[in-house]
Amino acid sequence: MKIFTHLCSYILLLVVFNVPKGLSDNPPLQDVCPMAPQGERKLFMNGFLCKHPSTILASDFKTLLLNHAGDLDNIVRSSVNVVTATEFPGLNTLGLSMARTDIAPNGVVLPHSHPRASEMMFVHGGSVVVGFLDTKGRLFQKSLGEGEVFVFPRGLVHYIMNYGFSHATTFSVLNSQNPGVVGIVHAMFATDSDVVEGLMARMFKFGEMGVSDNITADFPWAL
C-alpha cells in the first residue's frame, strides 16, 4: 500500500509539472479586469491596465461589434472582423477574443495563422469548406454546414472557402485576448495582385476535386 501511495504521488507530480504551458493567456488574479481607458494608462505592460473596481459597469462586458456583416467588395469576397481586448474592454485578462467572418459565394479567407491562439469556429449560416496544415504538411479539410463546429489548432495555417450559393457567416472564439494574425499570402504579395487571384482559383479547383480528408499532396496554394 505504501509503494502504491508513493507511485500515485510520483505520477501526480509528473502530471502537474508537465502540463503544457501557454495553451492560453495567463489566468487572471481577480474576478474581472475591464481595460482602463487610454487616459488612465500610465505605463506599458503585456496586456492592459484594469479599471478601478468602483468604475466597472455591466456595459464593459457587452459589445455590438459582431452584429453586422463586413464589406465583401474586395478581391477575396470575404470579411473578417476580429474583436480583441483592445476593442472590447471586458475581455481583458480573460484569455479570449472573438471573430465574425462573412464570405460571399465563391469567396475565400486566404491561408493565415494565429500565433498565440487556437480557434473554435461555428457556422452560423451557409456552407463552407475549411482546412488546416499541420507541421508535417498533412492537410485536414472538411465541408461544414449550418450549426457545425471546427477547430483550428494554435499557430497552424488554415483557410475557409464558401462553397454554397448564398452568403456564409461564421463566428469564432480564440483562446487569447490578442491572438495575432499572420497572412501567408498578403505578407508577400499585394492584395490586388494576380498571385492572389491565382491562389483563389487553385483553392476552388482543389475543392471541386472532392478530395477526402488528410491528403498530403497537390496543395492548391502551391505557387
* Known binding-site residue numbers: 112, 114, 119, 158
**80, 99 contact by CB (below 8 A):** yes
Residue with cell 480557434: 119
Of 106, 130, 79, 73, give the one whose Cα is nearest residue 204.
106
By CB atoms closer than 10 A (0-12, 13-18, 19+), residue 20 is exposed
Residues placed in the known binding site for oxalate: 114, 119
Backbone angles phi and psi of 139, in degrees to 5: -100, 130
Expressed in angstroms, the distance from the first to the final Cα of the chain is 63
Distance CA 17, CA 4 (A): 20
Residues in binding site for Mn(2+):
112, 114, 119, 158
